[in-house]
Amino acid sequence: MTSDLRVELHITGVVQGVCYRASARDKATELGLTGWVKNNVDGSVEALAEGPASAVEQFVEWCRRGPPAAEVGEVTTTRKVGTGEYDRFVVAR
């Protein structure tokens, strides 16, 4: 079964060293999404989330704020049709 929506996110700002990945994983899991989140070497964070469109949009809005210690600069998104290839949401290394 494929998910309704897949979104790829690129998040900039103060988003590393502030529990962004763990918090994003927790939020995605709470929303019933699958996918991953990881740090990039340039200091940004990248994420891929799949699930029902309304839950994916809630996750995108959360990513624009992030956890309390984060200072999110910009969030770029690419929306696609879900593939159903993930079975949970993880912090990728």
CB atoms within 10 A of CB 24: 29
Residue 53 lies in a domain: yes
pTM of the shown model: 0.94
For residue 32, tell me if it sits in a domain: yes
Q: Which domain holds residue 9?
A: 5-84
C-alpha to C-alpha distance for 60 and 28, rounded to whole angstroms: 10
Decide if 40 is catalytic: no
**Position 93 in a domain:** no
The residues, any chain, with a CB within 8 Å of residue 71's CB and separated by 6 or more, are: 13, 14, 15
Query: How many CB atoms neighbour CB 81 within 10 A?
Result: 11
Does 69 reside within a domain? yes
**pLDDT(2) > 90:** no
Helices assigned H by DSSP within the chain? 20-30, 53-65
Average of per-residue pLDDT across 65-81: 97
In a domain, 17, yes or no: yes
Quote the number of domains for the chain.
1
- 21 carries an active-site annotation: yes
Q: Is the per-residue pLDDT at 1 higher than 70?
A: no
In a domain, 90, yes or no: no
Here the CATH number for the domain that contains residue 36 is 3.30.70.100
Token digits for 48?
Answer: 């891929």
| Domain assignment present for 42 | yes
In-domain check, residue 48: yes
Confidence band (pLDDT; 50, 70, 90) for 21? very high
Catalytic residue among 6, 39, 40, 64, which?
39
Q: Which two tokens stand for residue 28?
A: 């995605």
Given 21, 40, 64, 93, which residue is catalytic?
A: 21
